[in-house]
Amino acid sequence: MTDGPGHRPRLSTAALLAPAAAAVLAGSLSWAAGHPPAAPLTKPAGTASPTAGQTAAERARQTRDLQRLSNEVQSLRAELKNLDDSPHPASTRGTARPTAKPKPARTTPPPVQATTGAS
């Protein structure tokens, strides 16, 4: 069986749009990473200046939010990488992907402020 006459153009459009969409998504993520959502671009008129304590508290909250989001991004990236690294059925891939070399694991633990263990 052969493809119908309209099939090839549709595939070509998809092939063009997919990288473009990926580029837009990547650009959006990159921009979002540099712009914390809680930080306004301009200060609204008539807004009272926050006190030093409020500013510090807000900054601490934003730092925590950023850390939490960063953790989530790391987790999602790891999940995505696992999906990419997992073998795909041959029927869904035109050519076999090269096997990614495993990254060497970091052997020394990062610094810690406390431990949890023997009770």
Partner 1 sequence: MTFPAMASRVTLRVVDPGPAASDALAAARRVFERVEAACTRFDPQSPLMRANAHRTAWHAVPDECYLAVAEAARAHLETGGLFDPRVLDTLVALGYDRTLPFRSGVSLTGAGRASAVRVPAGTAPWRPGLDPESRSIRLGVDRIDLGGIGKGLAVRLAAQALAGTGGGHLIEAGGDCHVAGHGPGGDAWQIGVEDPAGDADPVAVLRIADTGCATSSLRVRSWRVDGTTVHHLIDPRTGRSADGDLLSVTVLDPDPARAEVWSKSLLIAGRERIAGLAARRRLPALWVDESRRVATSAAMAPYVIWTAPDAT
Binding site for partner 1 (CB under 8 A): 56, 60, 63-64, 67-68, 71-72, 74-75, 105-119
Cβ proximity to partner 1: between 10 and 61 the closer is: 61
What burial letters (b/e) apply to 62-75, b meaning 16+ CB within 10 Å? eeeeeeeeeeeeee
Q: Which is nearer to partner 1, 30 or 74 (CB)?
A: 74
Pick between residue 72 and residue 85 the one whose CB is nearest to partner 1. 72
From the CB of 39, what's the least distance to partner 1, in Å? 17
**Closest separation in Å from C-beta 85 to partner 1:** 15
Sign of CA dihedral 24, 25, 30, 31: positive
What DSSP state is assigned to residue 35?
Answer: S
Select from 61, 37, 36 the least CA-distant residue to 50: 61
Between residues 101 and 106, which has the closer beta carbon with respect to partner 1?
A: 106
48: its two tokens: 């009272």
Q: How far is the CB of 115 from partner 1 (least distance, A)?
A: 4
Closest approach of Cβ 50 to partner 1, in Å? 17
* Locus of tokens 């306004």: 40
Whether the CB-CB separation of 100 and 85 falls below 8 Å is answered with yes
